Amino acid sequence: MGKSMRILLFTFLMTVMCAAVALAYNPGQRTIKLLGQTLNSDKHPVHLVVSQTIDMRDVLTADAYNNLPTAKKKRTSRTEYNENNGIAAKRATIIDGEGKIIKDNVDFCKDGFWYAIDLVNKTYDRVPALPGMSSPFAESLIGWFNVRPVGGNDAATGYDYDRMTKGNNTLTFYYEKGTEKWLGYQTAYLPFVKVEEVSNVADESYFALPSAEYKQVADPAMRARAQSIMEKRNKK
């Protein structure tokens, strides 16, 4: 975990400790433990799987929804994080309404390069690695830890929560009522992200470089992101 992340977590923890509330857990207490210990890959390997389903029934009129092909009526995203020894591999899988995998990519930084591997088309791309190209799950949330958390219980689900707000955006972590069991999180108005698996046993097969059967093909999205990171770095 980087120095800036440790400083922000410390500041966040101090804010939590100073909040005088009559709850089993102070606002942010469970989340700071979750990110600073359970999901801290500086201390031990991390394995995390989350999923999110977008049902177009929730955003379209009945007629518009019924006119959609089945494949487009629902989309499920499954994201798997495996982190150990300074490597943070992220596998992003998207499944359509018919159960077909339409995207299945793995990315990570290793040996000075950032790799993006397309498991569906058996292709890959790589560019020289720079800070910020691939980071652990906990560090990807660093920007939220300079605001005071709010804790409570969601009446609709019964879940306890820790919520951070920045402008019109929110990040909410949900827990089983009265416990530290992490159930998922949600940002702004996007659907709930459900925790499927969390452990300290990383699947290091995701750290493997692409085999000979994979062909190198330029990944426009990857290269655009790399260019953006380089431009921001040059402006500093």
φ, ψ (nearest 5 deg) of residue 51? -140, 155
- Pair (120, 153) in one structural domain: no
- Containing domain of residue 50, as a range? 45-134+203-236
- Pair (119, 223) in one structural domain: yes
- Pair (121, 78) in one structural domain: yes
pTM, to two decimals: 0.87
- Pair (85, 175) in one structural domain: no
Query: For residue 30, is it within any domain?
Result: yes
- Pair (51, 129) in one structural domain: yes
Q: What is the pLDDT of residues 102-156, one digit of tens each?
A: 999 999 999 999 999 999 999 999 999 988 788 899 998 878 878 899 999 999 9
Query: For residue 197, is it within any domain?
Result: no
Q: What is the pLDDT of residues 176-223, one digit of tens each?
A: 999 999 999 999 889 999 999 999 999 999 999 999 999 999 999 999
Q: What is the pLDDT of residues 61-75, one digit of tens each?
A: 999 999 999 999 999
- Give the number of domains in the chain: 2
Angle 71-72-76 (CA atoms, 0-180°, nearest 5)?
A: 85
Query: For residue 194, is it within any domain?
Result: no
Residue 22 has pLDDT above 60, yes or no: no
Query: For residue 198, is it within any domain?
Result: no
**pLDDT value, residue 86:** 92
H helix count then E strand count, the chain:
5, 12
Any bridge partners for residue 170, and if so which?
165
**pLDDT value, residue 40:** 96
Per-residue pLDDT band at 159 (split at 50, 70, 90): very high
Strands (DSSP E) contained in 96-236 are: 101-110, 113-118, 123-128, 150-153, 160-166, 169-175, 182-187, 193-199, 215-216
